[in-house]
Amino acid sequence: MKKFLITILVLIVTVFAGAYGTFRYMNREHGPDIYAMYQSQDTVVQGKAGVFLIGLSTDEDYDPTWWHNIYQHIAHVRIPWPFRIGALADRGVALMDPDRDYATEEFTPTTLVDRFDSTRNIDATPYIELYRQGLVEWVAPLESIHLDTGYFVYTGRQDGIPTTVGKMLGYARLWYWGRGIEGKKIPAERQQQVVNDYAVAKLAEKYPDVTFQQADTMKPWLWRKKIFDMLDSGVETFVLASAMVVYSGYEDFNNAFRHSIEYVEEWEQLHGRDIKIVMTPPLGHFKPIRDGYLLMLKDKLDTLPKGVSVKMVWSVHGMPWRAFPNEPWLEIAPAYRDVLAEESKQLLAQYDFSQVEVVISQDHFADHYWDPDHLSLSTNKAYFDGVEDGYDYVLNLPIEFYNENTDTLFYHAMVNYENFPDYTVYDQIKYPPSMWDQPYTKHFEIENTQIDYLGVPVGPRYAPYVGQSMFDSWDAILSQH
C-alpha cells in the first residue's frame, strides 16, 4: 500500500511538473530582450541612414481587419496559454441589437445584426427569429473589462473568426463608426499624419539624404514590405522610431520594435548583408511636446477669473500593473510625465488662484478588477475628488495621445465620465472632420464644479510642438553620424 501511494504521489508530481513546464514554455519570451538592447545600444549612425516610424493609429474609416489584428495582439500579450485558446474560440456568430449595442444586463432585442450588418443568417433566416427559437444566447459582460458590454451569440454555426472578435467588430462598426460620432469617421489617422508630415519636413530640411518610411503595426503586410523597400534602397543604418509618446514593452519593445527587427533580420538573411539598427528615444523625452501641452493648459487658464480654485489632472493611458510589474514604461515615463506635472505647477503659480492642485491619473485599468487596492488614481476618481473638495474647476489633458482615437473618444470617455449625471454612452460626439484642426473639448458641471476635458494637441496651434519633438527624437540619433 505504501509503495502504491508513493507511486501515485510521484505520478501527481510528474503531471504537475509537466503541466507547469508546458505552461512556462508556451508563455516563454520570444527572442532577445529588446528593452535591454535599447538601453545598451551603440547609437552612432554608420553609412546611409533611413528613419522607419512604426506606430498604431486608428483608421479614419472602419477596417475590420485592423480590429481583428489588434484583438489578436491583445490576446497574445495579455492572456496566457492555455486560457488564450478559450478567448480565441469560435463559439458562434456574435450578434448585437443596433438600437442597443451597449448593454450590461440581458434584454429582449428587437433586431439582431452580425458583423456584416446583416439581419439574416446564411440560410436567410432572420437572427431575431433564431433568437425566438432559443438558438441565440446572451453573453454577459466580462468582469475583467470595466464597463464592458454584453452581446448575443447564435450557436448554430461558427463564424470563421473568434467570437470575441466578432463582438469587437460589431460594436466598433455600430458605435465607433456608427451612431457614436458625427460624420462616422475617426480623426486619429489624419491628425497623426499632420504630426508625421511636420517631422518629415524637418528631416528633409536637415538630412536630405536620409530616407523615411512609416507603417502601422496592425497592417503587417505593409509593415514588412516598407522595411524591405527601405533596405533595398541601400540603407545601412536602420533608425527605428515609434510614434508613441512613452515607450512600453506592450506596444514597442515586444511588438513594434521586436517585429521590425525580425523583418530586418529576415532581409539580412535573404541578401547576405548586415544592417545596423538603432532605436530612437521616445518623443516624450523632448521639451517641445511638453510645451505644447502647457500651452493648451495656459490657453484655458487665461480664460478663468481670478480667485478661483483649480485642479489639474494629467492622465495617462494606464496598464494593469499587477500583471506587468516589470513593464519598461514604468522606468521611461517619469522623464516625461513627472517633469510635465512639475512644469504645470510652475505655470499655475503664475495665476492669482485661491487654490491649485496637480495630480496624475490613468484612464484605463484603475478599476475594481485590475486595481482592487486602489494603487493608481483613476481619472474618474480624480474628477470626483475635485468635486468633493469643492474646486471651482477641474481640468484634464491626456498626455499619451496627440490625436483623438477610439480610446480617447469612446472607451476612456465612458470610464472617465462614469456616474456623471449628464453623460451616457449613447451621446453622439460632435466632432466632424471639419473640426479636426482644433481640439475636441467636453464640459460638465457637477455640484458647482466645472469639469473640462481640454482635448489633445492638434491643429496649427498645438500639433507643431508634437512634430518638433518627433523630429528631435530622430535628430538625437542622426546627429551622431
Is residue 312 domain-shared with residue 263, that is, in the same domain? no
254 inside domain: yes
What pTM does this model have? 0.94
381 and 267 in a single domain? The answer is no
Mean pLDDT for the stretch of residues 160-166:
96
Residue 284: name the closest of 330, 226, 333 by CA.
Answer: 333
State which of 282, 317, 336 marks the end of a domain. 282
Residues 156 and 136 in one domain: yes
- pLDDT tens digit string along 186-202? 999 999 999 999 999 99
Based on the fold, state whether residues 383 and 421 are members of the same structural domain.
yes
Averaged pLDDT of the chain:
94
pLDDT at res. 1: 65
Q: In terms of residues, how long is the chain?
A: 481
- Do 437 and 308 fall within a single domain? yes
Domain co-membership, 270 together with 352? no
Alpha carbons 414 and 417: distance in angstroms, whole number: 5
Same domain, 253 and 317: no
Indicate the pLDDT class of residue 26, thresholds 50, 70 and 90.
Answer: low
How sure is the predictor about 17, in pLDDT bands with cuts at 50, 70 and 90? low
Q: What is the mean pLDDT of residues 439-465?
A: 98
pLDDT digits (tens, 9 = 90+) for 224-279: 999 999 999 999 999 999 999 999 999 999 999 999 999 999 999 999 999 999 99
Q: Residue 40 class from Cβ within 10 Å (0-12 exposed, 13-18 middle, 19+ buried)? A: exposed
**Does a structural domain hold residue 382?**
yes
- pLDDT for the residue numbered 122: 96
**What is residue 8's predicted lDDT score, i.e. its pLDDT?**
72
Which three-class secondary structure string do you get for 52-112?
EEEECCCCCCCCHHHHHHHHHHHHHHHCCCCHHHHHCCCCCEEEECCCCCCCCCCCCCCCC
**Domain-embedded: residue 294:** yes
pLDDT score of 5: 64
Same structural domain for residues 448 and 331?
yes
Q: Which residue would you say has higher pLDDT here, 78 or 100?
A: 100
- For 382-431, the pLDDT digits (tens) are 999 999 999 999 999 999 999 999 999 999 999 999 999 999 999 999 99
Structural domain boundaries, residue 101: 64-177
> Given the DSSP bridges, would you call strands 237-242 and 211-216 parallel, antiparallel or unpaired?
unpaired
Shared domain for 35 and 123, answered yes or no, is no
Q: Is residue 476 part of a domain?
A: no
Please indicate, yes or no, whether residues 296 and 328 belong to a single structural domain of this protein: yes
Whether residue 97 is contained in a domain is answered as yes
The CATH number covering residue 378 comes to 3.40.50.1400
103 located within any domain: yes
2, part of any domain: no
Which pLDDT tens digit goes with each residue over 44-88?
A: 999 999 999 999 989 999 999 999 998 888 877 777 767 778 788
Order of strands across the sheet with 49-55? Answer: 211-216, 49-55, 237-242, 276-279
Q: What is the mean pLDDT of residues 151-158?
A: 97
Total domain count for the chain? 3
Q: What is the pLDDT of residue 19?
A: 53
pLDDT band at 471 (very low <50, low <70, confident <90, very high): very high
Q: Which of 237, 265, 282 is the last residue of a domain?
A: 282
Residue 341 scores a pLDDT above 70: yes
Asked if residue 213 has pLDDT above 80, the reply is yes
Residue 28 confidence (pLDDT)? 61
- The reply to whether 425 falls in a domain is yes
Q: What is the mean pLDDT of residues 451-468?
A: 98
For 329, phi and psi rounded to 5 degrees? -50, -35
Whether the per-residue pLDDT at 20 is higher than 70: the answer is no
In degrees and rounded to multiples of 5, residue 227 shows phi and psi of -65, -45
DSSP 25-58: HHTPPPSS-HHHHHHH------SSEEEEEEE---
The vertex-10 CA angle with 7 and 14, nearest 5°, equals 140
12 pLDDT exceeds 90? no
Instruction: Tell me what percent of the residues of the chain surpass a pLDDT of 70.
Output: 94
Asked if 50 and 148 sit in the same domain, the reply is no
The residue from 235, 266, 282 where one domain ends is 282
Q: Which of 8-12, 136-140, 255-259, 318-322 has the least mean pLDDT?
A: 8-12
List CB contacts of 141: < 8 A, sequence separation 6 or more. 104, 147, 148, 149, 150
Tell whether 105 and 47 lie within a shared domain: no
Q: Please identify which residue in the block is written with the cell numbers 491583445.
A: 74
Tell me: pLDDT of 31 over 90.
Answer: no
